Amino acid sequence: MKKNRAFLKWAGGKYPLIDEIRRHLPEGNCLIEPFVGAGSVFLNTEYEAYILADINSDLISLYNIVKLRTSDFVRDARLLFTDEFNNSEQFYLLREEFNTTADEYRRALLFLYLNRHCYNGLCRYNLRGEFNVPFGRYKKPYFPEEELYWFAEKSRNATFVCEHYHDTMVKATQGAVVYCDPPYAPLSATANFTAYHTNSFSLADQQGLARIAHQLSVESQVPVLISNHDTELTRDWYQHASLHVVKARRTISRNILGRSKVNELLALYKKAE
């Protein structure tokens, strides 16, 4: 199966690990993703239906607009990917507009612009809920037209919802499969990067996710696959799962030499047949 890229840049995106993830994802009729992010797993699997959720309302609004108004969105977004808007002055003007407008369609256009023009494609908000990533200074940001159309085509069988991971996971019934890509547990005290949205993801959230995954697999026969860093802490959280180690490259370090490969876990909760 050809690998398809997401139209957004995303810290921790799963495109490089797609083959490993597909290898461990069980069969089913519906894939549920409580932390859809850029959607690389969704875009590279073939389930009959998808329930795709995220706590970031800007992200889910964007996805629904791309799904329902594809041609309009591609046409209008392309206008922002010109030399006229690829400078710091225009970037900060458009970032300010994004942070003040209530127009959902305009916000979606600006979200894509900011994602492709900001530093490292990061998605970060301050405590007031304002997007605050600085200008990235890229020579010619890529306009992902082909990726947008592929996303829209795949979305015909998808439902996008903005909600807490617990509310998404309790929708799972027998025949569904759940894939979770939560904000990762820190490798160290200085390596934490969970505040990608104003809702931070605490250690209690991490433990709660593991409990729900175990409960779903035992009580509802719904398999759950979770990605996270490979640490003593995560191995303790996922003690009831089958653990598989994969190598992943860190991509958000400012220092290129710091973008080394680290071990990640794929924790599979699945009731023995």
Bridge-based pairing state of the strands 49-54 and 158-162: parallel
Residue 83 counted as an annotated binding residue: no
Residues whose CB falls within 8 Å of the CB of residue 98, separated by 6 or more in sequence, listed in order:
107, 110, 111, 114, 131
**What is the DSSP secondary-structure string of 210-244?**
HHHHHHHHHHS---EEEEEE--HHHHHHTTTSEEE
CA atoms within 13 A on the CB side of 113: 29
DSSP 156: G
> 237: annotated binding-site residue?
no
| Residue 181, marked binder | yes
Cα-based angle 241, 177, 44 (whole degrees, multiple of 5): 110
Q: Please enumerate in sequence order all residues whose Cβ is within 8 A of that of 256, keeping only pairs 6 or more positions apart, or say none.
A: none
Q: Is the dihedral of CA 155, 160, 165, 170 positive or negative?
A: negative
Q: Is 19 annotated for ligand binding? A: no
What span, in angstroms and rounded, lies between the C-alpha atoms of 240 and 45? Answer: 26
Annotated binding-site residues for S-adenosyl-L-methionine read 10, 14, 54, 181
Q: Residue ranges for the binding site?
A: 10, 14, 54, 181
